[in-house]
Amino acid sequence: MGERARRVTASDIARSLGISRATVGFVINDTPGQTISEATRRKVLAEAERLGYRPHAAARALARGSNRIVLFVLPDWPVEHSMRRYLEEATHVLDRAGYSLVTWTRHAGGRSRPLWETLDPDLVVPAVPLPRDDLDALRREPGVRLPPGEEPSELHEVPSLRAGPALQVEHLHERGHARLAVALTGDPRLEALARLRASLAGARAAELGVEIADVRTVSDEDGSAAGAVRDWVDAGVTGVLAYNDDIAAAVVGAAVRAGIALPGRLAVVGHDDSPLARLLVPALSSVRVDVAGLGRYVAHRALHVLGVEDTPPAEPAVWASVVHRETS
């Protein structure tokens, strides 16, 4: 095995050009307030490229007092279509500003060391409220910032996370359905979010005078979807709002296999408007959440907190809407 190549340093560039190490450093780091001729600047940059110079990340971070890293602390949820789109958009916004987005999932009961203790990020953005002990420890970390004057969860406390269940109820109510059921996921990681969505659906149904006749966990793996559909039809339920498109697809599949007409006898509305919603036959009505816009919004909020952007971003006028397809 060959010997590992030595990293080219600023001193190598200085020796090659016969100039001072300080001058090379000023050019490479674009240090303000230094009087360096344009000819010298071009010569240094050309020689750096010829020698294959790559800045040392740790040294650059020390020089500028920043790692240019924003750490998103994610909940222990499945990384599905919505989460991927959200993170992709946030990554693009931060990258254009010269920042890297790094994610760390805080697992329930996990014993791993918090990533902010070793990564030294410029800003930590929790997607859900952190336990008080973690929050206090994070605020004691030197150089690590949280949004000032805010509970950290507020960066993500936007209407898109709460609007979906109400929109599902409203969509079914507008189509004449007065007796509904709620189909939830059985994934234990999503239990709290599933309960929240069921509660929000119930609150909106009560306002509209719509009955939520049943709330239950549904799966396509254990026959529960087929049993639920039979029970709902027997109980006079005519509309189902599902936790997400996967759960909605299980309900639709069970109804189709049982010969139940969709949406004539049973209407179904999913959530997230994943690719599955468009590909399913019949095509699934679903709540489309602007997760891409949410990712951009949170990233711009982070850049505003860091002082990179002068003004805070404006929230989109509409975070979520129902895409009407064949199942409703």
Query: Phi and psi dihedrals of 250, rounded to 5?
Result: -65, -40
Q: How far apart are CA 39 and CA 19, in angstroms?
A: 13
Task: Provide the b/e sequence for 40-61 (b: ≥16 CB within 10 Å).
Answer: ebeebeebbeeeebeeeeeeeb
Q: How far apart are CA 292 and CA 87, in angstroms?
A: 8
Angle between helical axes of 224-234 and 245-257 (0-180°, round to 10): 70
DSSP 76: S
Q: How far apart are CA 147 and CA 304, in angstroms?
A: 10
User: What pLDDT is stored for residue 88 in this prediction?
Assistant: 94
pTM of the entire structure? 0.73
DSSP 145: B
Q: What is the DSSP string of 157-186?
A: --THHHHHHHHHHHHHHHTT--EEEEEE--
User: What pLDDT is stored for residue 313 in this prediction?
Assistant: 87
N-to-C CA span, the chain: 65
- The residue behind tokens 């409220």 is 129
- The residue behind tokens 């990233």 is 299
Tokens of 57: 């990340």
Which stretches of the chain are DSSP H helices? Answer: 10-17, 21-28, 38-51, 57-64, 81-96, 116-119, 132-140, 160-174, 191-208, 224-234, 245-257, 275-279, 291-305
Tokens of 237: 């339920």
Query: Phi and psi dihedrals of 189, rounded to 5?
Result: -70, -25
Q: Are the C-beta atoms of residues 48 and 16 closer than 8 Å to each other? A: no
User: What pLDDT is stored for residue 104 in this prediction?
Assistant: 86
Q: Are the C-beta atoms of residues 138 and 173 closer than 8 Å to each other? A: no
Tokens of 285: 């009505």
Q: Which residues of the chain are modeled with pLDDT < 50?
A: 1-4, 58, 61-64, 148-158
Looking at the chain, how many residues does it have?
328
At 269-290, the pLDDT tens digits run 999 999 999 999 999 999 998 8
User: What pLDDT is stored for residue 127 in this prediction?
Assistant: 72
User: What pLDDT is stored for residue 131 in this prediction?
Assistant: 66
